Structure 1
Amino acid sequence: MKAALRKALAGSAVGLALLAMPMAAAAENLGQALADAYRNSGLLEQNRAVLKAADEDSAQALASLRPVLSWSAGASHSFGRAYSDAGTSAATESNGASAGLTMSLLLFDFGASRIALDIAKESVLLTRQQLVLIEQQVLLRAVTAYMEVRRATETLALRQANVRLLTQELRAARDRFDVGEVTRTDVSQAEAALAASRSGLTSAQGVLIQAQLEYEAAVGHRPGTLAAPSQLGSVPASVNEAIAVALQNHPSMNVARRQVTIAELQVAVTDASLKPSLNLSGSYGLESDLDSDAHSRSGSVSLGVSGPIYSGGALASKQRQAMLNKEQTLANLHVVTINIRQAVGNAFSGVQIARAASSAGTEQVRAAKVAFDGVREEATLGSRTTLDVLTQEQDLLDARTTYLSAQVDEVLARYSLLSSMGLLTAQNLKLNVDIYDPAAYYNMVKSAPAGVSKQGRQLDSVLRRIGKQ
């Protein structure tokens, strides 16, 4: 499996390396388009922020294991009137102030808080895999947009050439009609074919506009001249090799595995919630009478144990729910495995089909071109009708269009296979970009630094820079 992985990566890397070679002035190659899509994707930026938020969940889970220190302060003014048994009264008034510190620390809870920290860490790893999944979607969309612009551009060129050719055929038919070699029917057939060709040209122009808009959305800028891929890279020798790589590397598989792990930890958390917890707390305070010099200081330290006795059945329900969630994630892992196998199998067969169609298209175009040249020559000798020429011209156009689509489909099929194997990432494709490090922010917050610390101030600076981008 590792050999298959290295082979697939090497093939894709060679392909993109060749794509990055200079071809023509101002021509953009596929490697550059993928790099731009990676840099400009708002979807990737959005999900990187989601990952950073998950990193903070881990920091908060760690903070729950540390002492919590808080302060309080207050001032009071009280007034009233006191009445005696003799019927006299006197006004009363007093002013006071107080300040205090309190501290609490969880000493032991049968591992519930530690398990919560493990869940947070697993959630970070899960979110990283979801980010990889988004990255694959972004890059596959860019590949598709690139090749669809190529398809639309070359189809438009074929349509334009067809209009020019049919215009010549119509002119020739009219000249032959003028000298009595053909009938009015032949001229009408040429006119109808030209009108249909112009309609096809207009449709091709509209398809190109749509493809260009999709390219701009996927890559981040309008397409210029797009170079043809000169190397498509290699694919695994067998579908079983491709499936083995996918089951090991595809982010959807890794997400499903992490979900199972988290569900198992959730079961452990619900079990621990039925057990008591041991807490340490302390307080220290100062009270002062502002109307006199009287003041007092006091403090306390306490050790407490608490635990549930009866919760109306809620805790038992949570236990059952956690077990059912675990079963759900195990079933989901099975479903994802089947889906990955099917997706890889479909993608692998798609490559084989596209490759065969591309090979057949070469021969089809060659034969159609020979047939068209022969029919047109025979028409000049009077042995073929104008309709024969127009029919063969349409056959040649269809052959060229089919061959063009087969070439585009082969490229898309190969990159779809890479995506189904979990290898369509900027790092695996060796794109010329700064690869995003998903662990960088986590390493900054994993120790849960306080906002007043040096590291906390550095984090604030990082977030301010992000907010200005």
Structure 2
Amino acid sequence: MTGWNMRIKRGLCAALAFAMLAAVPAGADTLRSAMADAYRNSALLEQNRYLLRVRDEGVNQAIAALLPTLSFTASSARDLVADTTTTTARLVAEATLYAGGSRRNALRGAEETLNAARAQLVALEAQVLGDAVTAYLEVWEAQQVVAVREANVRVVTEQLRAARDRFEVGEATRTDVAQAEALLATARSNLAAAQGTRDISRELFNLAVGRYPDALPGPGAMPVLPASEQEAARLARQEHPAIRALQHEVAAAESAVAQARGATRPNLSVDLSRSETFEAPLAAQEGNDARLSLTLSQPIYRGGQLGSLERQALAQAEAVRAGLNRQVQINLQLLGNAYARLGIATAQIQASDQRINAAQLAFEGIREEASLGARTTLDVLDAEQDLLEARISRIEAQSGLYAAAYGILGAAGLLGVANLNLPVPEYDVAAYGATFQGGRPRIASPQGDRLDTLLQAIGRE
């Protein structure tokens, strides 16, 4: 074996050793921990948890509109000529007995809007987890590509050194050296590009997860997918949180139609008042009054406003129904794409493994032939480049496999904390509303605790 051949062998061994070291987990930054941190640190989720509480308060206000009201007023007037002061105190109770069903429909609409907001928050949580998966896979893929590119630079450097040694003893031409120099420059350029892609991916990771990544040991085990594509399609049509949100929005829109129609019906209310009047300086009671009144009102003509409001509500309801049908189509399209990408990635991994084995054998054979003078330096460099591209294709296919698997979960509505069993407390979307029904369930999240602290600080609890 010539000195040139020995150097190439040492370069390949060093590259293999480096790749093996790169595959060893150097930290605990797993995909599951990244998703848990994204869920825990997301400012977007925190914002929408506040907005969900706005919807909860909308239900409370709709309930209050159904209840009687009690108010107290007091007034005092000074007569500057008679030098007397008259004070009146008045207590008034008011209740609406009938409003055409508009108030109860308003309550139903508020409840459905709240349920839609809860489902939307769950869908947003899935989006945050999906973004974390994408960010993790991009960083992991970029790190693997950088490792392969670095190993390639070392191997090509050894090839260039060997070519120069052979040139010195007359076994190679100046062209062989120039070709090795050109390939080394290309390898260094590709390495710089891979390092730049890795740095960009780290910034995306920081945005999605809320921190920069440590060493990534790899995505880990594949997630559990639905039993069949048909079952996944059923979940995408019926159980996906975005679908449930739109179903509640349809119900809310139908309540809005009923509410608009109720505005054309009679309104019956009752008032009960009690007043006392005193005059100073004698503090004599001037009089008192107790009154019960019943009021009936019926809109007759309002310039077409009521009809316009009803038509507007009907159009809104139809628009939401169309949006629901559209969301079903989108979910099924995303699901179909994810399954197609899963099949593609699986086939690419198998083909890449075969390609790596073949390229490895070809490279070793061409290298031996070159040591005997039957091959040129360019032949060796081309064979090494084929092996490099095969390894990178394997990395990209593996990343695509995980992305497709989690894409299936996302399209089927299964990308959630509970389904993935992530090590983070799941936010209870119903806990805040339950506090107004006599219970005090704990909201198991730092964001929920901060919200409760804020409410206590302003005296709302």
Q: Structure 2 length normalisation: TM-score?
A: 0.88
Deviations 1:386-437 (A, max 9, x none): 1111111111111111110000010011001100000001011111111111
State the distance in 1 between where 2:283 and 2:456 align: 52
SS of alignment partner, residue 132 of structure 2:
helix
Secondary structure, aligned partner of 1:297 = strand
- Label 1:195 to 1:24 Cα distance change in 2 as closer, same or farther (>3 A): closer
The structure 2 residue matched to 1:308, chosen from 299, 320, 323, is 299
Corresponding residue number in structure 2 for 1:68:
69
Please name the residue that 2:13 is paired with: none
Structure 1 residue 251 and structure 2 residue 241: aligned?
Answer: yes
Residue equivalent to 1:291 = 281
How many Å apart are 1:376 and its aligned residue? Answer: 1.5
What is the match of residue 158 of structure 1?
148
Q: Which runs of 5+ in 1 are unaligned?
A: 1-22, 80-90, 450-457
Distance 1:355 1:78 in 2: 94
> Aligned with 1:397: secondary structure?
helix
Contact 1:427-1:435 within 8 A present in 2 as well: yes
Q: Partner of 1:46 in structure 2?
A: 47
Amino acid in structure 2 at the alignment position of 1:28:
D
Is the Cα contact below 8 Å between 1:110 and 1:277 reproduced in 2?
yes
In the other structure, the counterpart of 1:434 is: 425
Give the Å deviation of 1:48.
1.0
Match of 1:5 in 2: none
The 8 Å contact of residues 159 and 201 in structure 1, kept in 2 or not, is answered as: yes
Aligned-CA RMSD value: 2.2
Whether 2:172 is the aligned partner of 1:182: answer yes
Q: After TM superposition, list the pairs within 5 Å mapping 1:92-111 onto structure 2.
A: 92-111=82-101
Distance 2:276 2:366 in 1: 108
The corresponding residue for 1:85 is none
User: 1:108-139: CA deviations, max 9, x gaps?
Assistant: 22322111111111111100110011001100
Deviates more, 1:233-242 or 1:202-211: 233-242
Structure 2 residue aligned with 1:410: 401
- 1:344 aligns with 335
Could you tell me how far 1:97 is from its partner in structure 2? 2.5
Residue type of the partner of 2:190? Answer: G
Show the counterpart of 2:412: 421
Counterpart selection for 1:464 from 452, 455, 461: 455
Contact 1:263 1:326 in 2 (8 A): yes
Distance 1:203 1:167 in 2: 18
Contact 2:31 2:220 in 1 (8 A): no
SS of equivalent residue, structure 2 residue 281? coil
The secondary structure found in structure 2 opposite 1:180 is coil
User: Which residue number corresponds to residue 55 of structure 1?
Assistant: 56
Q: Equivalent residue of 1:417, what SS?
A: helix
From the superposition, tell whether residues 321 and 302 of structure 1 become closer, same or farther in structure 2 (CA, over 3 Å).
same
Residue 72 of structure 1 deviates from its aligned partner by 1.7
Corresponding residue of 1:134: 124
Assess if the C-alpha contact under 8 Å between 1:62 and 1:447 holds in 2: no
CA separation in 2, counterparts of 1:160 and 1:465? 56
TM-score by length of 1: 0.86
Verify: 1:143 aligned to 2:133, yes or no: yes
Equivalent position to 2:324, from 311, 322, 333: 333
Q: Equivalents in 1 of 2:450, 2:368: separation in Å?
A: 77
Structure 1 pair 448–68 and aligned structure 2 pair: CA distance change class (3 A): farther
Alignment of structure 1 residues 181-330 onto 2, 5 Å: 181-236=171-226, 238-295=228-285, 296-330=287-321
Quote the offset at 1:219 in angstroms: 1.3
Query: What is the identity, as a one-letter code, of the residue corresponding to 2:68?
Result: P
Cα–Cα, structure 1 residues 459 and 378, in superposed 2: closer, same or farther, change >3 Å?
closer
Bigger shift: residues 68-77 or 153-162 = 68-77
Between Structure 1 and Structure 2, how many residues are aligned?
426
User: What code does the residue aligned with 1:59 have?
Assistant: N
Residue identity in the other structure for 1:33: A
Q: CA deviation at 1:260?
A: 1.6
Q: Report the AA paired with residue 348 of structure 2.
A: A
2:48 and 2:110 map into 1 onto residues whose CA distance is 17
Identity of aligned residues (%): 42
Name the SS for the 2:418 alignment partner: helix
Query: Once superposed, which parts of structure 1, at least 4 consecutive aligned residues long, lie more than 4 Å away?
Result: 446-449, 458-462
> Secondary structure in 2 aligned to 1:140?
helix
Aligned twin of 1:35: 36
What is the CA distance between 1:61 and its match in structure 2? 0.3
Cα offset, 1:198, TM superposition = 0.8
1:143-202 C-alpha deviation (Å, 9 max, x unpaired): 111111110111110111011011101100110111111111111111111111111111
